[in-house]
Amino acid sequence: MIRKRHHWIVRTTHWVNVVAIIIMVGSGLRIFNAYPAFARKGEMFCCYPFEHKPIPDWLTFGGWLGGARHWHFAMMWVLVVNGLVYLTFIYLHGEWRDLVPRRGDIRDSLQMVKFYTFRRKDHPHQGKHNALQKTAYFLLPVFGALAVLTGIAIWKPVELAPLTAVFGGYVWARYWHFIAMLAIVILSVVHVFMVFAVDPYSMTSMITGNYDPSLSPEARNARPFYHLFPRRARAAAAPPPPAAT
């Protein structure tokens, strides 16, 4: 039975985020290449092993430093407004309850890991999202907020000196901005991989809003890429034969 899974506001903000994050990451890496290091000249920085090694051009966006800055700041405001719309909606609509951490999430996450690594046969029971998905979806706005705050801190380090000082000064604020970006990229890549590997049928729901629960990973007992091997998936989901008497 087809059910409505995602409100149009959730779907719209999701795809706006996709575009904004891609442009922000690419333009941010182009800006970084203007000085691909965190230590000031003549100093050392403890926590980045690739000092003075620029990011490959194919990973950057904006063409040149000035163009990248224009794109970066434009997308920053798009991301901020879009994020506020999304957070306001899930709060007013009650969907925040599906995402906030709860007691037992660590246990449930471990059970999902056991299932994906073939140490558990049956898919753990889940609601709209499993525990690993909840963790990723909860952390994305957190790292997004960190990226915005650190970005503002390095944009106006003099006018907003107290904010820059919170992150340890300009050098460290720039570093935490980079780490927030890296975390967003990693979470996004894992999210996209798991969608295609475990629940490709959810792509339709993020476009139309409709979802068939009979095709959910739990209903299919689906591990990564098991939808490509239907016989194996059915065998894994089948109950064991009764013991001989």
Domain presence at residue 98: yes
Question: The whole model's pTM is what?
Answer: 0.84
Average pLDDT over residues 81-99: 89
Residue 244: per-residue pLDDT: 53
The token pair that represents 72 in the structure block: 């970066």
Domain presence at residue 242: no
Count the domains in the chain: 1
Q: Which residue has the higher pLDDT, 228 or 128?
A: 128
Average pLDDT over residues 5-24: 93
Q: How far is the C-alpha of 186 from the C-alpha of 124, rounded, in Å?
A: 25
Displacement of CA 93 from its chain's centroid (Å): 22
Domain presence at residue 57: yes
Domain presence at residue 45: yes
Q: Which residue has the higher pLDDT, 216 or 178?
A: 178
Residue among 197, 222, 242, 193 at smallest CA distance from 118: 222
Residue 15: per-residue pLDDT: 95
Residue 231: per-residue pLDDT: 55
Average pLDDT over residues 109-114: 91
pLDDT digits (tens, 9 = 90+) for 145-166: 999 999 999 999 999 999 999 9
Q: Residue 232 belongs to what domain range?
A: 3-236
Displacement of CA 94 from its chain's centroid (Å): 21
Through-space distance between the first and last CA atoms of the chain, rounded to whole angstroms: 39
Q: How far is the C-alpha of 14 from the C-alpha of 183, rounded, in Å?
A: 18
- Contact indicator for 207, 11 with CB cutoff of 8 Å: yes
Residue 117 sits in a domain whose CATH number is: 1.20.950.20
- Collapsing DSSP states into helix, strand and coil, what is residue 4? strand
Q: Which residue has the higher pLDDT, 25 or 131?
A: 25
In single-letter form, the type of residue at position 74 comes to A
Report helix angle 170-198 to 8-32, nearest 10.
Answer: 130
pLDDT digits (tens, 9 = 90+) for 179-203: 999 999 999 999 999 888 888 888 8
The token pair that represents 150 in the structure block: 């650190």
